[in-house]
Amino acid sequence: MLGAKQGKWWLFGATGLDAGLGHIIRPECTQLLIYGVLWIFIRLFSPKPGMSRPKLLCALSVLLIAFAIPAVPYMTAREQFLPEKLKTLISSANQEESKEIQKPEINSNNNIYSLRHARQDS
C-alpha cells in the first residue's frame, strides 16, 4: 500500500516478489497479488491523483513479473499450478464432478467412557 500512496510503481515489484516467495510456503500469499491487481484495475478505470495510467501499467507488469520469478519455477517443479484445496472447490462447483464427491458417513456409536462412568468388574 505504500507504493499506492506514494505513487512508486517499483514498490509493487517488492509486493510481487513477496507474494511469489510466500506462495512457495503458503498458497494463500497469492492474495497480495490479487489485491494489487484489483487495486491497479480500479485505479485504471477511475484515475485519481498519485499515479498516472502509464505508471499503473508499469506497476502491473512489475507486480506480475516479480511474482512469476520465484513462483513459476516452483509451480513447474511441482507440476501443479493451482493448490489442491482450490481444485477441490472448483470441481465441487461443477455439477458433473460434484456427484463423484461423497460425504463421509458419520457413525454415532458413543463408546466413550469417562473414569466416573466406567464399569468396574469386581
Query: How does pLDDT run across 6-64, given as a tens digit for each residue?
Result: 777 778 888 898 888 888 888 888 888 888 899 888 888 886 777 788 888 898 999 99
The three-point CA angle 52-55-61 to 5° equals 145
User: Which H or E element spans position 92?
Assistant: helix 84-93
Report yes or no: 59 and 38 within 8 Å, Cβ to Cβ. no
pLDDT band at 72 (very low <50, low <70, confident <90, very high): confident
Q: In b/e form, how buried is each residue of 57-70, taking b as 16+ CB within 10 angstroms?
A: ebbbebbbebbeeb
Report yes or no: 3 and 16 within 8 Å, Cβ to Cβ. no
